[in-house]
Structure 1
């Protein structure tokens, strides 16, 4: 059994040796491993691995590990293991001064814990989960050692699929629900196997996992319709936007491909975007640049070169990407990365 398998499937007495053999911030390809041996280190690890958090309370003798894997350009799956107790908070001040626009879904594997957001307290059961929003304050309360798997997903990827996502944040998704059981099995297996996959199937499985989560959330909201329950043209446009965001790395992504995949004409596809004062090409380019900007500003992806970021986001070459990036944001990609504390080319 691999070290990560022991973490994910072992009992509550798994030795911390499986963490301390890793370097404090090892990173290879699409995977990053962060290790903490104390409260101060853990505060840094959780903020760097997810979103900026404030450590409210914690036991002194704590050992923790976060092992994160990229599932496509913007979705990450992290295996978290902590020995000790802690309370971490995404405070109103951090929401204001360190803004983020992601949803996080925690699948609880072991230990006691709760997530509090918007006045709701989700007590975590083994095999159950909870969704919370980084754009609003929340607390993560763990009175005992715990293990969990955490999906971090850009807001638009769930909003396009679900709609009223805020209504389910901070509410426990019980493990007995059939949708939760399927989602939990998928997330566990993906955590086990994703590092043995190449980038394309890993990204495709990431899309599938987000789709499964959206299905669970729609059921929790009490409806089984598509995104937002939108009729006709609006629903088709929402579906096309989601398709673009899920396939940014595909060099074939274009107006023609978008129309073909949705069974409509090129002209009709253009009309849908024109009604929103846009075009398929402009939308694709804007979303690719947005994804690239996210990767460049995120320290979890500091090992990726600018050329690799360009390729992952669907640009043919670095020169084309740099020109488009400067037009959109007023500075080259390297300058943006340097502004976030990394000088990597």
Structure 2
């Protein structure tokens, strides 16, 4: 059966607004036993408080949220699959106990949890975390003996883990359902990054690095550029330094799309200038001020590039939009 875009929308739950007597029972029954398959216990002398956003993609489920005053147990009665979960601590600390091992992860670190085994997850404080749940059959060919990674810490310095967190944040900012094609592509990228973070085999790593890792790194580079458009020293070297890669690596990422770093920066700056020209809030700004705000230092070059891309001058866009 074909999937619709609505099936790839995110769903949010929160204890906020629930009456205090019902708050914990709601979370235990709905989020614990029914959805995530954890038995949730209250932490003594604390007030349970939590929120979570869930998004199901083909072959991977993503959960992002914050919680305090609760601990989570996978009991034999709630075991329903052989899925593998990668827990990532975004803030706070969490202790995970499974198959005779125990580890505590702090902000930026991760660990692996097996859904087919009883286990315990105890947040040590209010914690913001991510979880990626993937079928064992998907990860096993890529990672090898994935069981070796259970309850062992993955350092925050692991490149693929940092990119995975960044990729998930990008998805979380999408407030509309994903199309089936985009959902499948995103799921593949996430599976690749999860496998690399856990420890992909050499052959699987080569495939994943050419697919999920590259896509995630390019997203991170583009986000860096967009965040720094107004700076006149926005160079390939500066972006590479912030991203922890070489300038040539950044250039090669854009070559996979058949374009250059410079052309992407120019297009983004022109798009920003056009948005400002069309926004009534900037109606009293001069065109030169808008060009400077978008990162242009040469006004004549800005006018030429703008007209070449949009077939109209900045004044034409402003007059057509704002009626001047």
TM-score bracket, normalised by the shorter chain, equals 0.5 to 0.7
Give the length in aligned residue pairs: 195
Q: 2:199 aligns with which of 202, 206, 218?
A: 218
When the two structures are superposed, what TM-score results if normalisation uses the length of structure 2?
A: 0.54
The residue number in structure 2 matching 1:44 is 29
**What SS does the corresponding residue of 2:36 show, helix, strand or coil?**
coil
Q: Using the alignment, how far apart are the partners of 2:33 and 2:184 within structure 1?
A: 22
Q: Using the alignment, how far apart are the partners of 1:28 and 1:126 within structure 2?
A: 31
Q: 1:193 aligns with which of 155, 174, 180?
A: 174
Q: Using the alignment, how far apart are the partners of 2:99 and 2:39 within structure 1?
A: 18
Structure 2 CA distance for partners of 1:226 and 1:213, relative to 1, 3 Å: same
When the two structures are superposed, what TM-score results if normalisation uses the length of structure 1?
A: 0.51
Shift of 1:48: 5.3
1:156 has 2:137 as partner? yes
Q: 2:14 aligns with which of 35, 55, 74?
A: 35
Shift of 1:123: 1.1
1:58 has 2:43 as partner? yes
The residue number in structure 2 matching 1:80 is 65
Structure 2 CA distance for partners of 1:50 and 1:126, relative to 1, 3 Å: farther
Q: Using the alignment, how far apart are the partners of 1:145 and 1:169 within structure 2?
A: 23
Shift of 1:50: 4.4
Q: Deviations over 1:186-224 (max 9, x none)?
A: 2222333374642311221111110111122225xxx53
Note if contact 2:110-2:156 (Cα within 8 Å) is conserved in structure 1.
yes
Note if contact 2:8-2:179 (Cα within 8 Å) is conserved in structure 1.
no
Note if contact 1:103-1:131 (Cα within 8 Å) is conserved in structure 2.
yes
Shift of 1:105: 1.2
Structure showing greater radius of gyration is: 2
Q: Deviations over 1:272-311 (max 9, x none)?
A: xxxxxxxxxxxxxxxxxxxxxxxxxxxxxxxxxxxxxxxx
Note if contact 2:55-2:63 (Cα within 8 Å) is conserved in structure 1.
yes
Q: Using the alignment, how far apart are the partners of 1:110 and 1:75 within structure 2?
A: 23
Q: Deviations over 1:317-344 (max 9, x none)?
A: xxxxxxxxxxxxxxxxxxxxxxxxxxxx
Structure 2 CA distance for partners of 1:29 and 1:207, relative to 1, 3 Å: closer
> Structure 1 regions of 5+ residues with no counterpart?
1-26, 228-345
Structure 2 CA distance for partners of 1:126 and 1:49, relative to 1, 3 Å: farther
The residue number in structure 2 matching 1:69 is 55
The residue number in structure 2 matching 1:10 is none
**What SS does the corresponding residue of 1:175 show, helix, strand or coil?**
coil
Q: Using the alignment, how far apart are the partners of 2:7 and 2:110 within structure 1?
A: 29
- The runs of 4+ residues in structure 1 deviating greater than 4 Å are none
Q: Using the alignment, how far apart are the partners of 1:191 and 1:49 within structure 2?
A: 23
Q: 2:153 aligns with which of 153, 172, 178?
A: 172
Shift of 1:49: 6.7
